[in-house]
Amino acid sequence: MSSFSTDQPCVVSAALTGGFARKDQLPWLPCTPEEIATSALECWRAGAVICHIHVRKPDGTLTHNKAMFEEIRDRVRAESDLNLNFTTSKIESMTHDDRFEPVQCGPELATFNSGSLNFGDVFVFENSPVFMRRLALEMWRYQVRPEFECFDTGHIGNIKRMIDEGYFDPPFFFQLVMLPRGTTPPRPGLLLEVLRELPPNSHWMAVGVGRDQLPMNTLGIILGGHVRTGFEDNLYYRRGEKAASNAQMVARVVRLCNELNRPVASAAEARRILKMRDPKDPASRAYDRSLPQHSTDGTCEKFFAALPNLLRGTAQPGLASSYQFLLRGEGGGQWWLTIGDGTVRTGAGEIPTPATHIVASAADWMGVVGGTVHPIGAIQNGQVIVGDGRFAAYGALLQAMAAGKATS
């Protein structure tokens, strides 16, 4: 288990609205940008130093509307030093690119859902390896720190692999979401087991919903973690009594910290503990090194430069498409490939809305195209990840490259 101390200030976070609560359940649930910003400022005055934000359409349904996120951001920053944590959750038919938009608004934190799961009996919450790697790079680009939302220990394993691949720098911030269905149940003994899985240099908070919210808050305080409260997780202050505001629940958590002799972090201390950037300081950064996987040195660069000649004249069914490659590690980088109308184009960087994403290490990909790594075995054991299940496009591309080699 990572080492934690109850002498370390407790970072108090308020989750204001969430995705499931409705106005007919709680008429004072904040939904408009003005209501959400007002609630965030009330929570800040009560002792919260992070506010987790979802936004709603006028009818109360969820959206990732950038203008709404930006309005909340501007209202809050005009009056406080509160740290903002924007959601990147998937809503209905939302694309990967849609989920990146809250990050592009420049909050201090954004949620990083760390794997797929059955979200209770409601829906399948999909977070593919391709999406997670792209989201990690987007957060790096906009200097936004990830809050890893982990619903079971396998999700922690996903993050540990990505740490090893160079996508994240310490300190790491884990939100351990413990729900009655579809995740690790909210039991103290299980929480202790989950904590043993965290990598070194980790901070954490345990999230319980409904009647489990307050026990998880208390365990976070006494075990040296951090705390999240608010209407996203619970509409009730106590049994039979609905909470009057998010700030009311924040004030209770602050009192608990004081009673249990745990200092409460200021907003500036939270930025230091979690290494968030200060948006009011132009020199402040969340990451000390440059964006990973941007090198275009080595054999991958030569391979992509040669692709137009290699594929010219091939006619494999299903080949016409657009591909985005994310090749990590030494000699890796990002490249794109488009095939159609008798033309083959490629280059370094990214293209908008590619049909197929291919993620691998540079060494594994060059092994696939060089014949030393089996292309199907590479998918089966996770060496190569083909996004959105586009295996036919992957196969057509490999067949076309083989045909090009035979005729060259």
Number of domains, the chain: 2
Lowest mean pLDDT among 63-67, 101-105, 219-223, 328-332: 328-332
**Shared domain check, 267 and 309:** no
Classify the C-alpha dihedral 383-389-392-397 as positive or negative.
negative
CATH of the domain at 257: 3.20.20.70
Say if 123 falls within a structural domain: yes
Say if 7 falls within a structural domain: no
How high is the pLDDT of residue 404?
63
Domain final position from 208, 239, 274: 274
How high is the pLDDT of residue 1?
43
**Shared domain check, 220 and 76:** yes
In this structure, which amino acid lies at residue 53?
I
How high is the pLDDT of residue 6?
78
CA dihedral 348, 354, 355, 360 (to 10 degrees): 50
CA dihedral 12, 17, 18, 24 (to 10 degrees): 140
Minimal CA–CA distance to 266: which of 3, 16, 85, 50? 50
Q: Tell the burial category of 153 from Cβ atoms under 10 Å away from its Cβ (0-12, 13-18, 19+).
A: middle
How high is the pLDDT of residue 159?
95
pLDDT band for position 209 (50/70/90)?
Answer: very high
Mention every residue, 6+ apart, whose C-beta is less than 8 A from residue 208.
178, 179, 186, 214, 215, 216, 217, 233
**Does the pLDDT at position 3 exceed 60?**
no
Model pTM score = 0.78
| Residues 8-18: tens digit of each pLDDT | 999 999 999 98
Say if 4 falls within a structural domain: no
CA distance 144 to 148: 12
**Shared domain check, 217 and 147:** yes
As a whole number, mean pLDDT of residues 311-339 equals 81
How high is the pLDDT of residue 340?
82
**Shared domain check, 326 and 227:** no
CA distance 314 to 385: 24
How high is the pLDDT of residue 294?
38
CA distance 133 to 131: 6
Say if 143 falls within a structural domain: yes
CA distance 371 to 179: 46
Lowest mean pLDDT among 167-171, 230-234, 393-397: 393-397
How high is the pLDDT of residue 242?
96
**Does the pLDDT at position 200 exceed 90?**
yes
Cα angle 196, 201, 203 (rounded to 5 degrees) comes to 70
Say if 388 falls within a structural domain: yes
As a whole number, mean pLDDT of residues 187-201 equals 94
How high is the pLDDT of residue 254?
98
Mention every residue, 6+ apart, whose C-beta is less than 8 A from residue 34.
71, 75
Say if 290 falls within a structural domain: no
- The secondary structure element, H or E, covering residue 228 is strand 227-229
**Shared domain check, 192 and 48:** yes
Domain final position from 274, 308, 340: 274
3-state SS assignment for residue 114: coil
CATH of the domain at 381: 3.30.1050.10
CA distance 116 to 129: 9
**Shared domain check, 61 and 142:** yes
**Shared domain check, 170 and 114:** yes
Range of the domain at 74: 12-274
| Residues 73-91: tens digit of each pLDDT | 999 999 999 999 999 998 7
105, 66 contact by CB (below 8 A) = yes
pLDDT band for position 210 (50/70/90)?
Answer: very high
pLDDT band for position 224 (50/70/90)?
Answer: very high
| Residues 262-314: tens digit of each pLDDT | 999 999 999 999 999 999 999 999 998 877 643 334 478 888 988 888 787 66
384, 375 contact by CB (below 8 A) = yes
| Residues 157-185: tens digit of each pLDDT | 999 988 887 889 999 999 999 987 778 88
What's the Cα-to-Cα distance from 398 to each of 306, 328, 374, rounded to whole Å?
14, 20, 11
3-state SS assignment for residue 83: strand
Say if 293 falls within a structural domain: no
Say if 195 falls within a structural domain: yes
Domain final position from 274, 290, 324: 274
Q: What share of the chain in percent tops pLDDT 70?
A: 94
**Shared domain check, 308 and 226:** no
**Displacement of CA 135 from its chain's centroid (Å):** 6
| Residues 352-393: tens digit of each pLDDT | 889 899 999 888 898 888 777 888 888 888 889 998 777 888
CA distance 97 to 63: 14
3-state SS assignment for residue 48: coil
User: Average per-residue pLDDT in the chain?
Assistant: 88
What's the Cα-to-Cα distance from 122 to each of 17, 128, 148, 297, rounded to whole Å?
18, 19, 22, 46
**Shared domain check, 138 and 241:** yes
Which long-range contacts link 255-260 to residues 24+ away (Cβ below 8 Å)? 256/217, 256/218, 256/221, 257/10, 257/12, 257/221, 257/227, 260/6, 260/218, 260/221, 260/222
As a whole number, mean pLDDT of residues 258-264 equals 96
How high is the pLDDT of residue 408?
44
58, 68 contact by CB (below 8 A) = no
**Shared domain check, 239 and 130:** yes
- The secondary structure element, H or E, covering residue 345 is strand 343-348
What's the Cα-to-Cα distance from 22 to each of 18, 40, 50, 61, rounded to whole Å?
10, 18, 23, 9
List strands edge to edge, sheet with 343-348: 343-348, 333-340, 321-328, 356-361, 384-386
How high is the pLDDT of residue 376?
85
Lowest mean pLDDT among 210-214, 364-368, 399-403: 399-403
**Shared domain check, 319 and 244:** no
**Shared domain check, 303 and 267:** no
